[in-house]
């Protein structure tokens, strides 16, 4: 989502880096370019003005002028001010009477129902017993959608088409309490636009069930309008948090930067894809790093830790260092990498020069190559996977036919495998410094 903004900021930083010492006019010129980049990214004009005035004040300080690398100091100042603008990280309030009720609100098309399922799965992974209540009688098949998502995740969903939404929510919470649920998520009705009837209904639900959280699910791709929508909901019902959905889209992304400052409501989660795991807690410093092209290594590590089996990974490393690397090991690594999510999202988290290299990679083509590689390895016999040296021409033709690929692709896989095995042997003998001098 932030690709265009990141490229613009990186260009500004590169130009600043050519200056040995920063003069006031250099800072003004850089801030002018940053201002245009932020406005074009749909960041609220007031937020841009306040943010850059703070950056300028700090960038012209005596500390920066005396710094060994003033450009790096300015980048650090912009990063810090961007983090302040995005706001402090806010966590779900799960205190009070059990079951704790989380009320999701939003317009139609914002991804509210899908987000309810993602949030339910996220809560369950943290030991909470969760129920969901389908409280949208207006959108066709809304309750069926939530019910299907609940069945997929094995999470109970309550719905009764005969009851009006406020009563439906109240009965749903009571049934969840009797069933021993700790948290109840209400998927309330959306509309195509804000209207009084909608707000009256939401106020009635809030007054009846007294939720600990009232969270707006806002579509990040609606740009500046998302900020207006948030203000429209906040005034009558009192929002306690925001979830920005569709952050993996191709919109300009400025709403994410503006929301906290303009509405004074904290962002609690961001939705980063269609899968049920594509919900991340909002970390302002990490998002600021991604916006500025610094990557997000911490999120990448967390994603890897959640995906990889620690014991298996340690065993693989030991085998690799001994040069015991087979195509079975290769297949396991590819499967683990795919479980981390789409290749494009992994590449986005890489920092600095690596991100620049990653931008040259066609993530869809990389994904296709991984699928083909897995198909080729799966078409081999156990002996062929453990001892690739037995792969003669006839065996390679059979594998290509069985995997729906070409003999050339099979040959390329074998070449890549041999190169990797050779590299791992060198690492095992000489360490990383023997291959990459100065590697920490």
The 10s digit of each residue's pLDDT in 233-269 is 888 888 998 888 877 655 556 777 777 777 888 888 8
Distances (CA, A) of 146 to 138, 234, 333, 437: 14, 25, 34, 54
> Each residue of 307-319: b (16+ CB within 10 Å) or e?
bbeeeebeebeee
Tens digit of each residue's pLDDT (9 = 90 or more) over 319-361 = 776 667 788 888 887 877 777 666 666 666 655 544 455 555 5
CA 205 from chain center: how many Å?
31
Alpha-carbon distance of 313 to 415, in angstroms, equals: 24
* Domains of the chain by start residue, with CATH: 3-86 (1.20.120.140), 100-294 (3.40.50.300), 300-434 (1.10.260.30)
To the question of pTM greater than 0.75 for the whole model, the response is no
Answer for the pair 22, 66: CB distance below 8 angstroms, yes or no.
no
Alpha-carbon distance of 340 to 396, in angstroms, equals: 30
Predicted confidence at residue 93, as pLDDT, reads: 86
Q: Which of 93-97, 150-154, 406-410 has the lowest mean pLDDT?
A: 93-97
Average pLDDT, the chain: 79
Tens digit of each residue's pLDDT (9 = 90 or more) over 396-422 = 999 999 999 999 999 999 988 888 888
The token pair at 177 is: 């309490």
* CB within 8 Å of 23: residues ≥ 6 apart: none
Query: Which residue is it, tokens 């749903």?
Result: 172
Residue 16, SS3 per DSSP: helix
Is the predicted pLDDT of residue 434 greater than 50, yes or no?
Answer: no
Predicted confidence at residue 363, as pLDDT, reads: 61
Answer for the pair 132, 146: CB distance below 8 angstroms, yes or no.
yes
* pLDDT > 90 fraction of the chain, expressed in percent and rounded: 20
* pLDDT > 70 fraction of the chain, expressed in percent and rounded: 79
Quick one: pLDDT band at residue 186, thresholds 50, 70, 90?
Answer: very high
């Amino acid at each position: 989502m932030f690709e265009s903004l990141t490229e613009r900021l990186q260009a500004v930083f590169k130009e600043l880096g050519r200056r040995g010492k920063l003069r006031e006019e250099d800072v003004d010129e850089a801030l002018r370019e940053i201002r245009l980049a932020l406005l074009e990214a749909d960041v609220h004009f007031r937020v841009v003005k306040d943010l850059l005035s703070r950056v300028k004040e700090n960038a012209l300080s005596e500390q920066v002028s005396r710094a060994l690398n003033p450009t790096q100091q300015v980048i650090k100042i912009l990063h810090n001010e961007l983090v302040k603008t995005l706001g402090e990280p806010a966590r779900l309030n799960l205190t009070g009477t059990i079951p704790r009720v989380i009320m999701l609100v939003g317009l139609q098309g914002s991804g509210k129902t899908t987000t309810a399922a993602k949030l339910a799965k996220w809560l369950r992974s943290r030991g909470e017993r969760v129920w969901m209540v389908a409280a949208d009688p207006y959108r066709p098949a809304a309750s069926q959608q939530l019910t299907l998502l609940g069945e997929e995740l094995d999470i109970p969903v309550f719905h009764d088409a005969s009851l009006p939404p406020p009563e439906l929510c109240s009965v749903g919470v009571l049934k969840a309490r009797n069933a021993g649920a700790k948290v109840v998520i209400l998927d309330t009705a959306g509309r195509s636009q804000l209207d009084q009837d909608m707000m009256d209904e939401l106020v009635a639900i809030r007054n009846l069930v007294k939720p600990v959280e009232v969270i707006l699910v806002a579509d990040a791709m609606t740009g500046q309008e998302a900020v207006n929508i948030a203000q429209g909901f906040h005034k009558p019902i009192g929002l306690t948090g925001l979830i920005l959905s569709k952050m993996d889209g191709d919109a300009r992304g400025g709403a994410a930067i503006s929301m906290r400052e303009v509405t004074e409501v904290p962002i609690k989660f961001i939705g980063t894809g269609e899968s049920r795991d594509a919900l991340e807690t909002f970390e302002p410093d990490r998002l600021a790093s991604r916006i500025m092209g610094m990557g997000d290594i911490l999120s990448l590590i967390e994603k890897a830790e959640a995906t990889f089996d620690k014991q298996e990974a340690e065993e693989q490393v030991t085998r690799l260092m001994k040069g015991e690397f087979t195509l079975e090991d290769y297949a396991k690594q590819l499967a683990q990498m795919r479980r981390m999510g789409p290749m494009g999202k992994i590449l986005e988290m890489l920092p600095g020069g690596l991100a620049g290299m990653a931008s040259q990679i066609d993530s869809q083509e990389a994904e296709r190559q991984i699928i083909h590689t897995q198909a080729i390895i799966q078409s081999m016999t156990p002996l062929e996977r453990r001892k690739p040296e037995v792969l003669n021409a006839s065996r390679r033709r059979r594998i290509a036919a069985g995997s729906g690929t070409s003999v050339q692709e099979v040959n390329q896989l074998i070449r890549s495998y041999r190169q990797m095995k050779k590299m791992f042997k060198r690492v095992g003998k000489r360490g990383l410094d023997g291959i990459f001098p100065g590697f920490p």
